[in-house]
Structure formats: C-alpha cells, structure tokens
Amino acid sequence: MLYLWLKAFHIVSVVCWFAGLFYLPRLFVYHAQSEDAVSKERFSVMERKLYRGIMGPSMIAVLIFGGWLISLNPSAYFTQGGWMHAKLTLVALLIGYHHVCGAYVKRFARGENTRSHVFYRWFNEVPVLILLVIVILVVVRPF
C-alpha cells in the first residue's frame, strides 16, 4: 500500500513540476516582449513566485518520492532493461533545465535579458519533448 501512495504523490509532484516547466518559459516570452516598466516588474514577480513557490518544491518532491519508490525495490527498476537509466538521465537533464530557468529568472529581474521572445518560444519546447520520451519509457519500456 505504501508503494501506491508514494507513486500517487510522485505523479502529482511531476504534474506540478511540469506545469511550472511549461509555464515559466511562456512567461519569459511575454516578458521579453514587454516594453513598459510596470509589465516587466509584474512578470519578474510572477516568474520568481512560480520558480520558488511551485517549481522548486515540486522538483524536490519528485526527487524524494521517486527515490523512495526506487529504494523499495531497486532490482525491479535496474535489472529489467535500460529504460530506467534513460529516464533518470532525462530527469537529470530536466534538473539542469530547471536551473537554467532559474538563471533566466534572475537575469530578467536584474533587467539583463539578452534573448528574444523567439528564443524563449523554442526554449519552451524542451520540457515537452523530454516529457514525451519519459512517458514512453515508463509506459512502453522499449528496452
């Protein structure tokens, strides 16, 4: 029963983290397009609150619940193909992406953004592709 509770909390944490990973770069798009000081300040506040208040805690929860799940039966995850290794590699890339987002939050707050809204539109697609591959790995377990 513990396994199912942990799995449920892990999935909820993943959903919350990805909501932030999808929305924050979209805020960057609008922030990069904004021209007045009031809008820029408003976007900076929204970005900071999303990053610190939702994304950070959600990422930590994902790692705690995911690690806990693995610790209950590590051989089940690591001896039946390489799908878990691939998934964890993608999670590591997502953690890096998360921290890059944090660096952009700080740059915008200091008024030092040098990227265009077009860059952020493409940047916004990275977590979508990673999520697609992770879901396929977990559900299909192709290898």
Q: For residue 5, give both structure tokens.
A: 């509770």
Dmax (CA) of the chain: 56
Q: Which of 80, 68, 61 is nearest to 11 (CA)?
A: 61
According to the model, what pLDDT value does residue 79 have? 87
Whole-number pLDDT of residue 77: 86
> Does the annotation list 85 as a binding residue?
no
What pLDDT sits at residue 119?
98
Burial of 97 (0-12, 13-18, 19+ CB in 10 A): middle
Q: What is the pTM of this model?
A: 0.95
At 85, the amino acid letter reads H
- The dihedral region occupied by 116, where left means phi > 0, alpha psi between -120 and 50, and beta the remainder, is beta
Q: Mean pLDDT in each 10-residue stretch from start to end of the chain (143 residues)?
A: 97 98 98 97 98 98 97 89 95 98 98 97 98 97 93
Asked if residue 117 belongs to a known ligand binding site, the reply is no
| Residue 88 pLDDT | 97
Residue type, 77: Y
